[in-house]
Structure 1
């Protein structure tokens, strides 16, 4: 059995404060770490997308953010990918006239996930690809990739026995992005 090794996750001071503020007496450091790494369940991601924000509210957040114009274009394109569909880094980058690596970097910096669905972008061969800046190592999925798979399964995306997404990637973007 392969040993899974992942990089330590950076936790902001505000995230640490939220955990310690709600910390019941006797909570160990390991328990705090597990609490911070709790994966997003498909149900909670669905609720967030369906209940919390409309498409126009999400677009307003993107537009008003102090991020680069390129990142805003990437995130706007993501919002057009239908629930239950995936696209690839290559198709998205071709649509934007950029490189797959630049698209991946913009996805990694997406502060609006899961409402801006970066989990719907997979590798060109339909393998899961990265998520939150993390990739599989030595054939073992990271926790972030397990979260990505859960989000996609929660949207109805199907996988083959090898872990690849079944079906063709979506490429139906509107012709003009602002």
Structure 2
């Protein structure tokens, strides 16, 4: 529960307000900027459902929500951050639940509300052309280039078999990857976060694997906080598979992870993922755990 509370606090207090301030392209419009506004919207929809969340759980919500309610709130907040849910629509729904707006979207004055929930978009700011990645998702200039991402707590400790060949070199210059990178960059439907995640996949060489946690560690260390679950969500329904190799990403404990919308060894497409990885040279032991260390040499 503490881990879920920490994740929820980070999402609504830090990540979403920072994205709103940066006018991130994950949302076509950011109607709110403050942490309590994001909390209101997410909790009304994910916890209150058809009423304000304060009628369902006691305040403070973070201490009184059940595990299921916390999970639902986190999931919706991550969908907002990934551009999979529309913030404007959810904000209007939240205000409607509180009697502050009509069904036509016209705001009514609320006598008990002293602070406005909505701020106008600054007219001086211009949106970046579609297809670019927001600076929020790029490494900050103050950071030195990382040669290695932070080590995962539950990382795989096994070493590559002595009979294995040296792993291929990493980088965006892998054969055929320029075409895939151009496909990703020119997409008009992918969010900036999904573009960044798919771009990182192009750096994992054949015969190597990485993990959702390794990818989230790199992004957290170089641009913004994220988590393994958000990485998995961003890679779901990869439109460029298998050329953009999401099959090379495994769970942090060395197990198979997700593929084709299913998860683990019992997943519908588990055998296909095993077959592709085996053909590329990735091996698993008798317990279903991958051999060798994960790839972490991501770079901007």
Instruction: Report the TM-score when normalising by structure 2.
Output: 0.39
The equivalent residue for 1:168 is 293
Q: Could you tell me how far apart the structure 2 residues matched to 1:153 and 1:141 are? A: 18
Q: Could you tell me how far apart the structure 2 residues matched to 1:159 and 1:167 are? A: 9
The equivalent residue for 1:84 is 207
Structure 2: gaps of 5 or more residues: 1-174, 221-225
CA drift at 1:164: 1.1
The equivalent residue for 2:241 is 113
The equivalent residue for 2:257 is 129
Larger Rg: 1 or 2? Answer: 2
The equivalent residue for 1:50 is none
Question: Among residues 241, 257, 273, which one is paired with 1:148 in the alignment?
Answer: 273
State the number of aligned residues: 120
Bigger relative contact order, structure 1 or 2, given CA contacts below 8 A and separation 6+?
1
CA drift at 1:90: 0.5
Structure 1: gaps of 5 or more residues: 1-52
The answer to whether residue 55 in structure 2 is matched with residue 55 in structure 1 is no
Moved over 2 A (4+): 140-143
Instruction: Report the TM-score when normalising by structure 1.
Output: 0.64
Q: Could you tell me how far apart the structure 2 residues matched to 1:132 and 1:96 are? A: 23
CA drift at 1:109: 2.6
CA RMSD of aligned residues (A): 1.3
The equivalent residue for 2:191 is 68
Q: Tell me, what secondary structure is at the counterpart of 1:143?
A: coil
Q: Tell me, what secondary structure is at the counterpart of 2:258?
A: coil
